[in-house]
Amino acid sequence: MLVFISRRLIAGLLVLFVASFIVYILMSKAGDPLAFIAEIQNEEQRIAIEKAVRDGLNLDTPVIGRFFLWLRDLFTGEWFGISARTQLPIGDDLRSRIPVTLKLVGAATILSMVVGTTVGVVTAIRQYSGFDYLVTFFTFVFFSLPSFWVGVILKDIGGIQFNDWLRDSARFSPAVLVGIGVVAFILIYTSAGGEPRRKLAVAAIGTGVIEAVLIYVSATEWLRNPGLGPVVTALFAVLIALGLTAVMAGLRNVKARNTALTTAAIGAVLWFPLQIWLDDMSFWKLLLFAVVSIGVGVGVGYAWGGFDKGLSGRIGGLTAFLISIVIFVDRAMQSWDDYASNSVIRNRPIKTIGDRETRLEGDFWQHVNDTFGHIILPTMVLMLISVATYTRYSRSSMLEVFNQDYMRTARSKGLTERTIIVRHGLRNALIPLATVMTLDISGVLGGAVITETVFEWNGMGRMFIDALRALDPNPVMAFLVITAGCAIVFNIIADLLYAVLDPRIRIT
């Protein structure tokens, strides 16, 4: 494996070298990086800045020589040099910009993978159903939408208009309730299986539940002061426990089911003392909370025992982790009203500009809500295209797997449909998706360039755009090296995932 990784790293570095050389040459031909000094009125200052830029960028050296000098600085600890316009080290600028971009790209990528793959698998199972046609239509629409246009629309509807509605009433009109009910009924009916009578019953019950929840949310103005509370948290815990058990082991697996339900009961009971402990929260306490939760779930799984303690432990750990997320979200919701009514926020919690509110003073939960208010819209922009990609690829991959001989053999053995889909179908369908995931990370980084510009996030994407406009080569090269390096690393990870997902593949 070490030989394989070394070979891939060497090949990746060669590709990165060629790509960076081409981009550096193109940047040198794009224009004069000293053009901005004409704006400086003071002659002495202009001469000093010109000399500093010439020395910093080695402009008196031929372009090929400049590239190798830049490469030397990259490997000798000076990182990417200085910015021509600001005269500041790019490494210092990246320390503040990389976390901003990682926050945006990480959230969009994880959510896209989970939602897109899940929807794709469901559409493959319900092939040629009304739900399949609806998802296919919307995925093609989302895939063709330009990110800058979606960003502008979301800023208007999801930001400005939603904040106005939240401030004025926070109540759904009868027309909106009817419209949501019609859409929910169509989606549930087309995705449900069985005879038409059964599908109608399922759609009617599901739509009724959704409408009842919306009426309650509207009547109580819940969106202004949200919260789950112990009862809803316990309900979510039970649903998570049963859902994970059904997918990972089957509800007939008594040990796994008891593990999940016991973990859910522990989470529901601990909701009350955790409210006090969560008040004074920090990042390290949050990390400790997640680790301890997983440990408790795994311990419950091994305590129940059974012939497959490992499976019970995994179900317990994952159940506990998801329940801890629900408790975390509930606690953040409890601080939402305090955040929205803050004198800095002024009852406009969904933000359309920036990645954080620098003037906000408050506790940990205030800043958590601030992060959510700023990240939700740009994350939705990046998600729309990525979810469409994952949905289409996971659907086609699952349909291809369904036609394999080993799937027919599994059915002939009498295995349950859950076992056939999850253990035999999904695992093999994820192999081509591993490649899509690595390519999508580069695509999300590219989309972040536009998204960060639209929402005015001070991340790497905006640094790249600003550097292009200013004909500043070093920030452009920094963006190229980091994004290309990420693509190389994740491609190697994809190759390693092939061996994990398919034991027939050997890494040599």
Residue 237 has pLDDT above 80, yes or no: yes
Q: How confident is the model at residue 437 (pLDDT cuts 50, 70, 90)?
A: confident
Q: What are phi and psi of 347, to 5 degrees?
A: 60, 30
Backbone region of residue 128 per phi and psi (left: phi > 0; alpha: psi in -120 to 50; beta: other values):
left
- pLDDT, position 77: 64
Cα–Cα distance for residue pair 452/471, rounded to 1 Å: 19
CB 394 within 8 A of CB 124: yes
What is the pLDDT, as a whole number, of residue 325?
94
Phi-psi region of 372 (alpha: psi -120 to 50; beta: other; left: phi over 0): alpha
* Mean pLDDT (whole number) for 274-292: 89
Residue 265 counted as domain residue: yes
For the chain, percent of residues with pLDDT exceeding 70: 97
Q: Residue 5 — pLDDT band, cuts 50, 70, 90?
A: confident
Structurally, the chain folds into a number of domains equal to 1
pLDDT for 106 beyond 70: yes
Would residue 506 count as lying in a domain?
no
Stretch 78-107: mean pLDDT: 82
Residue 44 in domain: no
- Residue range 483-489: mean pLDDT, rounded: 84
The encoded tokens of residue 68 equal 């190798």
Q: Dig out the tokens for 17 from the structure.
A: 């070298």
Residue 330: pLDDT band with limits 50, 70, 90: very high
One-letter amino acid of 161: Q
pLDDT greater at residue 499 or residue 349: 349
In a domain, 371, yes or no: yes
- Answer yes or no: is pLDDT of 305 > 80: no
What letter represents residue 197's amino acid? R
Q: Return the higher-pLDDT residue of 319 and 12.
A: 319
Does a structural domain hold residue 30? no
pLDDT of residue 508: 63
User: CA dist 61 to 28, 346, 380, Å?
Assistant: 12, 54, 46
SS (H, E, C) 229-260: HHHHHHHHHHHHHHHHHHHHCCCCCHHHHHHH
Long-range CB contacts (< 8 A, 24+ apart) of 11-16? 12/488, 12/489, 12/491, 12/492, 13/488, 15/484, 15/488, 16/481, 16/484, 16/485, 16/488
Q: What is the pLDDT of residues 37-83, one digit of tens each?
A: 777 777 788 788 888 888 878 888 888 888 888 888 787 766 777 88
Beta carbons of 80 and 479 less than 8 angstroms apart:
no
What's the confidence (pLDDT) of residue 505? 66
**Among 383, 381, 501, 506, which residue's Cα sits nearest to residue 434?**
501
The pLDDT of residue 451 is 86
* Burial of 32 per CB tally in 10 Å (0-12, 13-18, 19+): exposed
pLDDT at 178 over 70: yes
Task: Identify the three-state secondary structure at position 89.
Answer: strand
First to last CA, the chain: 6
* Beta strand segments in 64-151, E: none
Distances from the Cα of 146 to the Cα of 153, 159, 459, 466, angstroms: 11, 19, 20, 21
Mean pLDDT for the chain? 86
Q: How far apart are CA 317 and CA 300, in angstroms?
A: 8
CA distance 303 to 386: 40
Residue 1 falls within a domain, yes or no? no
Distance CA 178, CA 172 (A): 10
> If pLDDT is split at 50, 70 and 90, which confidence band does 503 have?
low
| Strand partners for 89 | 82
Q: What's the pTM?
A: 0.86
**pLDDT at 506 (0 to 100):** 66
Containing domain of residue 450, as a range?
A: 93-170+221-501
Give the mean pLDDT of 134-160: 87
Of 394, 457, 474, which Cα lies nearest the Cα of 427?
Answer: 394
Q: Alpha-carbon distance 254 to 435, whole Å?
A: 37
- Residue keyed to tokens 């004074």: 280
**pLDDT > 90: what percent of the chain?**
24
